[in-house]
Amino acid sequence: MSEIENKTENGSMDGAGECAAGEPKDDKGLGLGVIFFLGAFLICFLSGWLLFPKLLYSKHEQPFNFDHKLHTEEAGDCESCHFFREDGTFSGIPDLASCMECHTDEPMGDTEDEAIFAEEYVAKEKEVPWFVYSRQPDCVYFSHAAHMMGENAKGKMDCKTCHGPIGESTTSRPYEENRLTGYSRDIWGKNIWGIKKNSWDRMKMDDCADCHVEMDGHKGYCFQCHK
Amino acid sequence: MIQNTKAHKFGMVIDLDKCTGCGSCMVSCMAENNVPFKEDESRKKDSITWMRVYKLTNGKSFPDTEVVYMPRPCQHCSGLGDHGHSPCVSVCPATATDYGYDTGIVSQIYTRCFGCRYCMGACPYHARYFNWWDPTWPEGMESYLSPNVSPRMRGVVEKCSFCYHRYQLAREKAYVEEREIEENEYQTACTTACPADAIIFGDLNNPAHQVHQIVKPDPHPDPRNHKVVGKSRNPKVFRLLERLGTNTKVYYMSEREWVRKAGDSYLDGEWDEVKNHHGSSSSHG
Amino acid sequence: MKIDRRSFLGLGLGAAAGIAVSPVGVKLTDDSSIWTQNWPWTPVPEDGEISYENSVCSLCPGSCGISVRKIKNRPVKIEGLDEYPVNDGGICLHGIAGLQYLYDPARVKSPMRKNGDRFEPISWDEAISLVSGKLADVRDSGAPHTLGLISGGAGGSVTALFKRFLDAFGSPNVYAMPSLEDNLSLTAATLHGAGNTIGFDLENADLVLSFGAGLIEGWGSPMACFKANSARRDRHAKLYQIEPRLSNTAANADRWIPIKPGTEADLALGLCAVLLKKNLFTPGEFFGGFNRFAAVVQKEYAPEKVEAVTGVKAADIEKLAVAFAKAKMPVAVPGKGRGDHGQNLKEFAAVQTLNALAGRLNKEGGAFVMNPDSYLAFPEASMDDAAEAGAGQEKSVGSVNELVDTLNASAKPVLNALFVYNANPCYTLRDTKRVKEAFKKVPFVVSFSSFMDETAMASDVILPASTFLERLEDVPTGGGLAKTVVGLTRPMVNPIFDTKNPGDALILLAQAMGGTIAESCAWDTYDECLEEVAGDIWDALSEDGYAVVSEGAPMGTPGTDFSFLASNPASVQAGGNGDLLLVPIDNIRLAGTAPASTPFAVKTVSDRVLSGTDIVVEINPETAKGLKDCGYAVLITSQGKARVKVNFNEGIMPGVIGMVKGLGHTFDNPYVAGKGVNVNDLIGPVIEPGSGMDAAFGIKATLSKA
Amino acid sequence: MDSALIPEGAKRCPFPKFMLGMAIVGAVLLWGVYAMFLCWFKGLNQTNMDDYYGFALWIWADLAVIAVGGGAFFTGLLKYIFKIDELKNIINFAVIIGFICYSSALLILAIDIGQPLRGWFIFWHANVHSMLTEVAFCLSCYFAVLTIEFIPNILENRQLNKVSFFHHLAHNMHGVMAVFAATGAFLSFFHQGSLGGVAGVMFGRPFAFREHILIWPWTFFLFTWSAAAFGPCFTLLVTKITEAITGKKLVSDKTVNLLAKISGWMITTYMIAKIIDTVYWAQVTAPSMGFTLDHFYSNNAFYGYWILFAEIIVGGVVPGLLLIFKKTRENPIALLTAITLGVIGVCLNRWVMVLQIMAVPVMPFDTWALYIPSWQEVATTILPVAYGIMLIAVSYRYLPVFPQELELNKPAQATE
């Protein structure tokens, strides 16, 4: 925040400085106008680029830190926790029950996060209110099965392609939510213009479409991904 | 459009002689698709019923009166010449509704729709409904809503989707079992609910399926009216407003001639010539 | 420094330009539209694992198997259960909408006590001690028989438990609401001996001669009838519907035979006469004056006479009789509409006699005279003197309608306390004013209703029942079905509100009462009780969810006693005055009895039945002099008047006004109540001598321009 | 008081009187604005539209104002492309009227859609097959053009003109106006047409559907044509009304008659086409779907043959003929009658092409649907009228809209 304040102040101070310099010459105040113009322009321009994004998103810390790396090492692969149900639907974030398959209200390790988990949730039989970075809005229908086990070879994608190397993360970064839309920032993309470097930097409809066009030469029909 | 070699063409045939007008299909549809309700639903012109059962009479006076009930879901038109330009799809300015060439199902995307209602004007079946009101439920009742169908917000158009989400669920199961879905894995909510077994739903492109065997759709354009494709070669089967060339995928069946006649408009004397004509190759059908 | 207009101009322009070349505009435009796509006030259902659980619907005696789809154990949809012996996947709109009952705005959310004219919530403990206290007083006053029970038709162990409670308490005053079940057992008792009932093998009959039975209007076990009916065509079977109005059943039938309302019995006897005359009948074990009967019907019910009464052509009567006799597997079915209210024994007996004469008793596709052999095995109730005394007593009167009259007639209370379970007499019985009066005459009324309906409002204490989705219960299939299937209703969710299974409430009461009453209900919970009393079918119930108790034609041919009909009982006439006849209509989309319809059900009702808050009555344009289609009119009967809208219907007999049942509720549910009028407000009961049935098939009325 | 702003030499009513008038019209405007916000915040349940009447009063108003606003592009076309210089005396006013009509149309559309905040989807997610898409694009582009055409006139305001930059800007813009006029004409041709297409392509609605030429149904061309034909009628009508109110002669008879004459011939030729279209539709198109003409004009309480007669004869043929004959054209009464009937005629045509389409039952067992707008609909439809009056009043007061005003009112004894 402070950084921006500095910037904006500089912005206006430049303006002030110049106007002090320019005053005697320009009695019409036209120069003054130009200076005000530049000043205002700079302030709004900078706040538009730097302040606005900060204001637009609210930050939430996860209930406690989750070490994906540790768990994948212990459990083997993603699918041991994020598994497919018998009916083909995807389980997504594990519920307390599936955590309990390994954990008890006695911590297994000695991290304080696990302690929190054991005391706050396992002991109290409360589901952990995780913030889901990749949560899509209600209008989206996404079939993990179609992408990972579709009968056609191109359907066999790995988790990384869309979710990135989250399996290697040892800490959970804060979840950022768009105050207006309630979307996770990961959907629009970290970058305010939504410019992405990796396939997992963004999860908008266009990103799905790009891949679909590439794979089967067609974006697909509305109902394929909407409900 | 995708050149889908083994594209489905999901459709329905409704046996009007079996239909009892009991309304199970209507309620099953509403319950399946999170359709809301208002205190006064007797203003039928602003009452959202994706599946609506019409009451038809033969217009004769007592005691020769006859009555038949006609369930009317979205007809999932494939449009003039069967090219997928349904009356509604072709007019939507924002591509909020499209024709799935792989299923023959006409979609409606509530989050894309901005509520211009052009599609409603274009649909002669009144199968499209506008959310004039915010959807509301009595306290607590939201908790029976299904996550498989997104509740609609005020100001958008909605309609029957042939329970597409049921197709999706069936496919997910098939995916994990690495197989194709079977015909009866995907059935609409109205079909399964009908206690009179009046509705048969399935792939019109699948000769093995009952719906195909009953309808015997004619793949060629009707020589009398080239807009019409997929005319039934079964003399007891007809479509609603077939002459307009909307090429619906909901077929109706009745033994009674007056019922079949009620499916379309005819000039004087026209009926007698058309009633015996069933598709191009009907002679050797 | 001087700041002039231009400076401000510069400031403004600068700001605008600055914002313009920043992402603000674009992002806000996009996000504001995304906001509209996710309005916080539009609900987002929670996703989760899908599961299916089987149960049985007990909304009506149909007892259909249902499959409840759940998301994370949250019920989201009710569907018909495939291969269930009653409905095989079929399901009616009320069952599908069942989840709406859970959150019905009129639900009674906790026990209630009436205070003045308002109800106040109380705890179960308070409620139980309050009720048991009152009951103790009644019993100690030495008049245990003044505790009464009014229960809905359905059988099952809960109703049985209520009866048992009254036995142990010492009261014989158990009354059932008029129901097809009762009417059929009364008919069976009259013709084939007590302890029987009648089932109709519609699945196999090749000619169904229905005397107004609304086979697709909710008669008997509705979905079973639907299935049998829709399979009809494939079996090349025929359905002839005899009815004054083109009901859905008539419209769906192969032939509709219009008949003057209330003359069905005459036609049935007319057909008997033809069979006897033409000697087309199959002799059977006929007694009780068969010859006298033969003589009477051929004299009094000769085709010409019957034509005059019924309006059915004599020639047609003869043809019909012959067709019936010649058919391979014909069956005649009684019970206008749903066969519950406004029926008379003469008609039921006459129709069943037709089956007897055609030799269709206990034959495949015919009428089964079945012993509803109760699968329930309650242990011997322990009785004290009071109980014994009460047990000895006669019931005050025969039927619930007579009870209502007696209550109103006598000065001192006939009943000091009354239980109402699974019934809404203040809405369903004819002349509801009369019923509400009668309820006022009972010092202490206890309702076991799930909803604050008309009767619950007329009671002093409400012990709210959990709905069929929240409780365990055994539900036997209801009337008219050729087989007996007992289904197990399982709790699909924990009770949403502070309600109990009426069985549990009753057990708590019994225990609070102590003594032999407690001993007679010595179970900790109703579930325990059920497991014990269901005895040998419990395993089947708990494993398969149902048990088929009886199936197929019973052995042997029962005798038929003709004494009742041989005495040529008088036909019941419609009361009141007026040039038209008002008859109630059963519409499958509206529940006629308890519980009331759901919002979904009401939504499906045609605007030619309900328009805004106006009820629409049907009338043949021929009789609608001076009236406009869709226009207003005033309907007047001796019972009262109502402002109605008029629907010209060529499908109803001239001179008849049709008014749908199930509207005009007055409780607090804006989606269902406060719409139209209750036809039972306009029709008064006409008690049939002997049977005690309310035989009012309609009432004379006038309809004039509003 | 505000005399500094009033064009030199021009007489205007006293400021208070002017403000009083503005206040009265302003009140009506506010009423409309209130209704508009009701619709935005409470939703379209504020209207009497239903699932049978998805298109109703608003869409009619849209089509109507755009039709009568057609005077702008057509006059522009004549003036700048066909170089009919005489029309310079009325072009400014035609442009202002056009500006009002099109801005109103856009405003009404913004109220009419169920999700105004998503309105831009029509551009972003455009479906090229939809006539409405074509409408949206051309409409907004042409509105931009009209704004550009309007600007120089604004800059000619006495005060603004003092700023040399503005002065030159205005001058140069006049220079290149031909380009914009051409663009405008081109765009108008398409959106007027596609508005007609909106109805003509509905092959599920036999009352609306028309045979196609290439990708366009007949109604496409009929709408463009009728807009060009009746638009000038409206321009003239408003001019006459303004003259009546200001009690001044603002446009010379020569100009008026010229425009009237052109309009007359356009109307006549349009009517010939329209009649051919109607006959073909009634005899061939509709019957091919099983519908007789009777079906569309009977068995209901409102829509009878009278509306067909009123549209084609009273509102079409009659004004057409009145305007092509010099004698009647130059008779003030006849002229006024003609342009009035013309405007009514074209509005009636748009009404039929929106509301009657919705009213006619298509399924044999369906019924006629009639509809009465709610007060909110009426208010929001009157809103643009009020706004139009105010904008004209302001423009007339402060801008040199009518080049001939001064010379036509030489002995300036006029004080209204």
d(CA C251, CA B55): 11
Spell out a b/e string for C118-143, using b for 16 or more CB atoms within 10 Å of the CB, else e.
ebeebebeebbebbbebbeebbeeeb
How many residues does this entry show for chain D?
416
pLDDT at res. D416: 40
- Cβ distance of B110 and A87 shorter than 8 Å: no
- Cβ distance of B244 and D52 shorter than 8 Å: no
Over its C-alpha atoms, chain A yields an Rg (Å, rounded) of 25
d(CA B240, CA B124): 10
Q: Is the pLDDT of residue D9 over 80?
A: yes
Contact status, residue C534 vs residue C362, Cβ threshold 8 Å = no
Q: Is the peptide bond before B63 cis (omega within 30 degrees of 0)?
A: yes
Distance from CA of C404 to the nearest CA of B (A): 34
Q: Is the pLDDT of residue D412 over 70?
A: no
CA angle at C152 for the pair C597 and C100, rounded to the nearest 5°: 25
Residue percentage of chain C with pLDDT more than 90: 88
Q: Which of residues 27-86 of C touch D (CB under 8 A)?
A: 29, 32-33, 35-37
Residue percentage of chain D with pLDDT more than 90: 81
Nearest beta carbon to residue A40 from set C18, C23, C31: C18
pLDDT at res. B41: 97
DSSP string covering C482-504:
SSEEEEEE--SS--SSS-B-HHH
Residues of D within 8 A of B92 (CB-CB) are 127, 130
- What average pLDDT does range D163-172 have in this prediction? 87
Distance from CA of D204 to the nearest CA of C (A): 26
d(CA A29, CA A19): 10
Distance from CA of D118 to the nearest CA of C (A): 5
pLDDT at res. C472: 96
pLDDT at res. A2: 38
Which residues fall within 8 angstroms of residue A107, CB to CB, at 6 or more apart?
A114, A115, A117, A118
pLDDT at res. D8: 84
Q: Is the pLDDT of residue A152 over 70?
A: no
- Residue (of A215, A199, A135, A207) closest to A162 by Cα position: A199
Residues of D within 8 A of C628 (CB-CB) are none
Give the dihedral of Cα atoms D14, D15, D18, D24; nearest 10 deg. Answer: -130
d(CA D73, CA D149): 10
| Structure confidence at residue C458 as a pLDDT band (50, 70, 90) | very high
Which residues fall within 8 angstroms of residue D144, CB to CB, at 6 or more apart?
none
Chains A and D physically touch (3 or more Cβ atom pairs below 8 Å): no
- Cβ distance of D114 and B154 shorter than 8 Å: yes
Q: What is the pLDDT of residues C8-22, one digit of tens each?
A: 778 888 899 998 888
With an 8 Å Cβ cutoff, the interface of chain A facing chain B consists of 84, 86-89, 137-139, 141, 143, 145-146, 149-151, 155, 216-218, 221-224, 226-227
d(CA A188, CA A137): 12
Residue percentage of chain A with pLDDT more than 90: 46
Q: What is the pLDDT of residues D10-69, one digit of tens each?
A: 889 999 999 999 999 999 999 999 999 999 999 999 999 999 999 999 999 999 999 999
Q: Is the pLDDT of residue C6 over 90?
A: no
Q: Is the pLDDT of residue A191 over 90?
A: no
CA angle at A152 for the pair A150 and A154, rounded to the nearest 5°: 90
Q: Is the peptide bond before B87 cis (omega within 30 degrees of 0)?
A: no
Higher model confidence: residue D36 or residue D171? D36
pLDDT at res. A154: 59
Q: What is the pLDDT of residues C340-388, one digit of tens each?
A: 999 999 999 999 999 999 999 999 999 999 987 688 999 998 889 888 8
Helix (H) or strand (E) holding C120: strand C118-121
Nearest beta carbon to residue B91 from set D121, D125, D131: D131
| Structure confidence at residue A3 as a pLDDT band (50, 70, 90) | very low
Contact status, residue C86 vs residue C484, Cβ threshold 8 Å = no
Name residue C700's amino acid: K
Mutate to test the interface with C, among B18, B19, B22, B192 (most CBs of C within 10 A): B22
Token pair belonging to A129: 């209110």
- Cβ distance of C588 and B63 shorter than 8 Å: no
Q: What is the mean pLDDT of chain C?
A: 94
- The burial of C400, by beta-carbon neighbours within 10 Å (0-12 exposed, 13-18 middle, 19 or more buried), is given as buried
- Cβ distance of B2 and A216 shorter than 8 Å: yes
> Half-sphere exposure of residue C261, counting CA atoms within 13 Å on the CB side?
27
- Please tell me what DSSP assigns to residue C336: B
Q: Is the pLDDT of residue A20 over 70?
A: no
pLDDT at res. A155: 63
| Structure confidence at residue D177 as a pLDDT band (50, 70, 90) | confident
- Cβ distance of A221 and B107 shorter than 8 Å: yes
| Structure confidence at residue B279 as a pLDDT band (50, 70, 90) | low
Q: What is the pLDDT of residues C150-190, one digit of tens each?
A: 999 668 999 999 999 999 999 999 999 999 999 999 999 99
- Please tell me what DSSP assigns to residue C381: P
- Chain A with chain B: Cβ pairs closer than 8 A: 82
Token pair belonging to A41: 């322009």
Contact status, residue D393 vs residue D23, Cβ threshold 8 Å = no
Mutate to test the interface with B, among D49, D293, D363, D368 (most CBs of B within 10 A): D363
> Half-sphere exposure of residue C76, counting CA atoms within 13 Å on the CB side?
24
d(CA C321, CA C325): 6
Q: What is the pLDDT of residues D316-356, one digit of tens each?
A: 999 999 999 999 999 999 999 999 999 999 999 999 999 99
pLDDT at res. C155: 81
Q: What is the pLDDT of residues C395-434, one digit of tens each?
A: 888 899 999 999 999 988 899 999 999 999 999 999 999 9
Which residues fall within 8 angstroms of residue C480, CB to CB, at 6 or more apart?
C180, C184, C198, C199, C200, C213, C219, C220, C221, C225, C333, C335, C339
Judged by average pLDDT, the poorest of A56-60, A216-220, C90-94, C466-470 is A216-220
Which residues fall within 8 angstroms of residue D320, CB to CB, at 6 or more apart?
D264, D267, D268, D270, D271, D342
CA angle at D241 for the pair D235 and D247, rounded to the nearest 5°: 130
d(CA B94, CA C571): 69
Residues of C within 8 A of B142 (CB-CB) are 43, 45
- Using alpha carbons, list the distances in angstroms from residue D320 to B6, B64, D260: 59, 55, 10
Hey, is D121 helix, strand or coil? Answer: helix
Name residue C209's amino acid: L
Contact status, residue B249 vs residue D371, Cβ threshold 8 Å = no
pLDDT at res. A30: 56
* Residue position matching structure tokens 């003039």: B80
* DSSP bridge pairs for C646: C617
Q: Say what the ipTM of the complex is.
A: 0.93
Token pair belonging to C518: 């407690």
Contact status, residue B270 vs residue D230, Cβ threshold 8 Å = no
Distance from CA of C32 to the nearest CA of D (A): 7
pLDDT at res. C3: 63
- Using alpha carbons, list the distances in angstroms from residue D17 to D20, D238, D405: 5, 21, 21
| Structure confidence at residue B125 as a pLDDT band (50, 70, 90) | very high
d(CA B216, CA B209): 11
Subunits adjacent to chain C (3 or more Cβ pairs under 8 Å): A, B, D
Sheet harboring C480-481: ordered strands across?
C367-370, C197-200, C480-481
d(CA A159, CA A81): 13
- Cβ distance of C230 and B147 shorter than 8 Å: no
Residue C12 contacts A, CB cutoff 8 Å: yes
Nearest beta carbon to residue B172 from set A87, A216, A221: A87
Q: Is the pLDDT of residue D249 over 90?
A: yes
Neighbour count for residue A225 (Cβ, 10 Å): 21
Hey, is C618 helix, strand or coil? Answer: strand
Distance from CA of C664 to the nearest CA of A (A): 39
Q: Is the pLDDT of residue D414 over 80?
A: no
d(CA A172, CA A64): 8
The alpha-helical segments, DSSP class H, found in A52-138 are: 52-56, 68-75, 96-100, 112-116
Token pair belonging to C424: 């809404």
Contact status, residue C376 vs residue C158, Cβ threshold 8 Å = no
Neighbour count for residue C291 (Cβ, 10 Å): 10
d(CA B22, CA C590): 10
CA end-to-end span of chain D, whole Å?
17
- Cβ distance of D114 and B155 shorter than 8 Å: yes
Residue D42 contacts C, CB cutoff 8 Å: no
**Nearest residue of chain C to residue B141 (CA atoms):** C103
> Which long-range contacts does A79-82 make (Cβ < 8 Å, 24+ apart)?
A82/A159
Name residue C243's amino acid: E
pLDDT at res. A12: 39
Q: What is the pLDDT of residues B46-73, one digit of tens each?
A: 999 999 999 999 999 999 999 999 999 9
The alpha-helical segments, DSSP class H, found in C278-364 are: 290-300, 303-310, 314-326, 345-357
- What average pLDDT does range B161-171 have in this prediction? 96
How many residues does this entry show for chain C?
706
Number of helices and strands (H, E) in chain A? 11, 2
Residue C41 contacts A, CB cutoff 8 Å: no
